[in-house]
Amino acid sequence: MCVLAILLGVWGARRGHEGVIRGAYSAVYANAALMSLAVAAMLTALLTHDFSVKYVEQVGSRSTPTMYTIASLWGALEGSILFWGWVLSLYAAAVIFSNRHRAGALVPYAASTLMAIAVFFGVLLVGAASPFGLVSPVPADGPGPNPLLQNHPLMAVHPPLLYLGYVGMSVPFAFAVGAMLSGELEDDAWIVLTRRWTMVAWGFLSAAIIAGMWWSYEVLGWGGYWAWDPVENASFMPWLTATAFLHSVMLQQRRGMLKLWNMCLVVSTFVLTILGTFLTRSGILSSVHAFTQGAIGYYFLAFIAAVLLFSLVLIAGQCGRLRAEGNLDAVISRESVFLLNNLLFAAFTFTVVLGTLFPLVAEALRGVKVSVGAPFFNSMTLPMGMALIFLAGVGPALPWKRASREELRAQFVPPAIAFAAVLALSIALGVRDPYTALTFAFAAFALAANVREIWSGMRVRIRARGEPAPLALARLIGSNRHRYGGYVAHIGIIVVVVGIAASTTFRSEAEETLRPGGSMTIRGVSVRLDRVWGQEQSQRFVVGADVSLLEHGRVVGTLTPRQNFYPTSEQPVPTPSVRSRADADVYINLMAFDERGESATLRVLIEPLVSWIWLGGAIVVFGAGIAAWPRRSRLRAQAPVGAIARDPTPPRVPVGASAVVAHRAQAADLTGAD
Amino acid sequence: MRVGGSRRILLPLALVILVGGFAYLSYGGVGDNLVYFLTPAELLAKGPSVYDRPVRLGGVVVPNSVEWNADALDLRFGLTDGLKTVMVHAHGAPPQMFRGNIGVVVEGKYDQSGVFESHNLMVKHSNEYHPPKPGEKPSDVYKTLVRDGGS
């Protein structure tokens, strides 16, 4: 079906034949319907415990709770490839449906590209990763999914989000290829479409990364959320390049700059998603030698090589038409901040790619087993991360093209005050680590700059049109979703960064063996062990410890860290127990226990501001949602600038520097520019 | 900023130098932060060159070598690959299933006194599941695990 769609799509685009293109679109819809059918069949097999199906025999179990049975659909290799193919087919159908009336060859070529990717996953599904194989004799029961994956509800959320993000990145790639094949590069349509779909996928990917961190925090029991593990890096690398693209695409839309660079970012984002899937699914990470055991790795390598070659040939062919139209007007301008931002993101990506792939190269070339330690990633990425946070404050405050002295002063004085105040406060409160103090200060700077941008836009509306504040805010955001969605996302990232900096710098931990009634104290919180108990559940045996938290002699909460014993796992899976509050989390893990219940060893961590990371993540996703939401009226966006003259109350222009800024901001809002 | 003829060459050149310098820096950074994965025999064969270098040491816990002081949270045991044995010292409770003859990986540094100071102890993940044998219940498995766990 996919092959049919490709052929029809290419043929139709070439000839400009309406009917053939229609046929191609129908094939895309049919593909989505058939993939949905396949997923439904697999889900039915899982839920009815049909152990004659190979995949069910591998991951199913009668004793697994229903929610985790559904989640096991994407828990193992074959199921995840099926799920991937399904999500891709849905994306393709959505892309085609929302652009079905668009003329030209762009969309047919994009459809063909998406279907070509679908063919790859289809080949995997019928070949190396076939989930529907039959088993005989049919076993009575299965082992159930990996215990780690049936221990927390977030496992039902994180993988689908990740796939929505990952697979979503194929849509921008498809449009890029479509634009190059059809030669509709000068037309802005492809870049507008690419930007919107990248924003959608980026939102899902951001949510997936945060959910993954949260899962790791709630399940793995070491109290952290990010370990620079290759699996984590796999999701982070395309996020970095996609973030870079979301910024640099504005330079292309507004100034006609960086066209070639943007094309490269779109392609590399897509390649990194495939590389990430390859890394996590081929088993190559445990060892280069494990790789040869599964054929699926070779398919992926071949596919990556093909994508790279195909893209390079296309880009090389269109090189002349990807030349920049505009130039930098001034060193201090929003353009140059975007350039710096992209340089940093590229360096960041390079660092993560290097650290992730280095062990593979070392083992293949020198035969030694190594891993790259977290200190490498931390020392390399910390300065870059700080610089990026700083730029997130500088960028929105700087005008396009050239800035006047008054503008600069008006824009930078408040954030600079915030920077100095927070820096002084941090040092006064005893923050000794210079990086942490600077991170807080940069975060304050960027927060002030972004909030100020929103605030000054709001104030202009309140003054000029007499709108009440909440309405002014809503209308302001509605007037330029890309811009204000971006600022909201900035604020979310700042909150995440503050949470990460505080929780890593100021965490304290203690570990003690307690008898029932005994207690330990850490940072003013007393932890009292009340009881150690055991309980048999259908799929596992649980050992738990009842723990009370006391502050000033009063019980302020109870926690129950547990260890779960699964019949199929040699070692227990811990379930740490967390009391989360805005200021700090109390995180308790049951490390060991006496089998007669006479003692338990508890590891207690106090981690300040961890919950800010999850909150910031939610803000980021909200911002992405604002930016990606389709415009209510397309007429307004396409209306000539003159149309705004209908506005009955022309903006009053106050005197002084801030007026220039405010006026500029409003003018930009009204024209719908960034 | 006007981009003239000579600048057209200078700009990519500056970029190449920047990227090259960065690549060199990060390559050095990787080299300094490599964590080698060794077995006890490989570790001892390396001699003084591994002192105070981060290492992941993998092997099997020597039966009856485990000394665990629950009140001081002090753990000592021998780790072997069948050829050589290295004494490991760790602070903190061992994993619940910790016992003789299981595969573990310890992360830490080998010091001159001949003891491996571990700051992270991991029981080797086994991703191979065996379906429960007929009549076997989770609690039975748990009981056997606890019985063996004492050694």
Work out the percent of chain A whose per-residue pLDDT is above 90: 43
Nearest to B34 among A143, A370, A567 (CB): A370
CA distance A474 to A494: 22
Q: Which position has the token pair 């910390």?
A: A382
> Per residue in A251-295, pLDDT tens?
898 888 888 899 999 999 999 999 998 888 776 766 555 454 567
Tokens of A579: 């009391």
DSSP label of A331: S
| Interface list for A 202-261 with B (CB within 8 A) | none
Q: Which residue on chain B is closest to A511 by alpha carbon?
A: B92
pLDDT (tens, 9 = 90+) of chain B, 151 residues, equals 444 445 556 667 777 777 777 777 777 777 777 888 888 988 888 888 888 888 888 888 898 888 888 788 889 999 998 888 999 999 887 776 677 777 888 888 998 888 999 988 877 654 333 333 444 444 443 443 333 333 2
Average per-residue pLDDT for chain A: 84
Instruction: Report which of residues B91 and A611 the model is more confident about.
Output: A611
Structure tokens at A168: 């979503």
Residue A13 has pLDDT above 60, yes or no: no
Whether A565 and B145 lie within 8 Å, measured CB to CB? yes
Residue entry with tokens 């226990």: A593
Which segments within B1-151 are labelled E, that is strand? 34-38, 55-61, 67-69, 74-80, 85-91, 103-110, 115-123
Packed helices A434-465 and A481-505: angle between N→C axes, nearest 10 degrees: 150
pLDDT at A386 (0 to 100): 94
Q: Is the separation of the CB atoms in A605 and A594 below 8 Å? A: no
In this complex, the residue of A380, A539, A571 whose CB is nearest that of residue B97 is A571
Residue A522 pLDDT more than 50? yes
* Residue A353 touches partner B, C-beta closer than 8 Å: no
Confidence at residue A164, expressed as pLDDT on a 0 to 100 scale: 95
- Helix-, strand-, coil-residue percentages of chain A, each rounded to 5: 65, 10, 25
- Are B33 and A372 within 8 A, CB to CB? yes
Interface of A with B in 75-94 (CB under 8 A): none
To the nearest whole Å, the CA of B100 is away from the closest chain A CA by: 14
Cα A192 versus chain centre, distance: 21
Q: Which residue, among B27, B35, B52, B74, would best test binding to A if mutated, counting the most A CBs under 10 Å from its CB? A: B35
Distance of alpha carbon A82 from its chain centroid, rounded?
21
Residue A333 forms contact with B (CB below 8 Å): no
Q: Which of B109, B129, B137 to mutate to test the interface with A (most CBs of A within 10 A)?
A: B129
A371·B35 Cβ contact <8 A: yes
Stated as kind and residue range, the H or E segment containing A389 is helix A374-397
| Beta-sheet pairing, A600-608 with B55-61 | unpaired
Residue ranges of alpha helices (H) inside A48-76 are 54-59, 66-71
pLDDT band at A349 (very low <50, low <70, confident <90, very high): very high
Query: Cα-atom radius of gyration of chain A, to the nearest Å?
Result: 27
Which of A451-465, A609-623, B15-29, B33-47 has the weakest average pLDDT?
B15-29
Touching check for A540 and chain B: CB below 8 Å? yes
* Angle between the N-to-C axes of helices A230-255 and A259-281, in degrees from 0 to 180, rounded to the nearest 10: 160
| pTM, 2 dp | 0.86
pLDDT of res. A124: 84
Residue at token pair 């039959």: A134
ipTM of the complex: 0.71
With CA atoms as reference, report the closest residue to A395 among A592, A276, A250, A531.
A250
Q: How far is A145 from chain B (nearest CA, A)?
A: 9
Provide the pLDDT for residue A649: 40
A-chain residues within 8 Å CB-CB of B123?
A: 570-571
Residue A151 predicted with pLDDT over 80: no
**Using a CB-CB distance cutoff of 8 angstroms, which residues of chain A are in contact with residue B93?**
511, 513, 591-592, 601, 603
Q: What is residue B3's three-state secondary structure?
A: coil
d(CA A618, CA A580): 16
**Cβ atoms of residues A277 and A299 within 8 Å:** no
**What CA–CA distance (Å, rounded) separates B91 from A599?**
18
- For an interface test with A, the pick among B1, B25, B27, B30 (most A C-beta atoms closer than 10 Å) comes out as B30
Q: Write the residue in B33, B37, B129 that is nearest to A569 by C-beta.
A: B129
Q: For residue A237, what are the contacts with CB-CB under 8 A and spacing of at least 6?
A: A272, A275, A276, A349, A352, A353, A356
β-bridge pairing B55-61 and A573-575? unpaired
Using only C-alpha atoms, chain B has a radius of gyration, in whole angstroms, of 24
For residues A177 and A652, which has the higher predicted lDDT (pLDDT)?
A: A177
Cβ–Cβ below 8 Å for B30 and A354:
yes
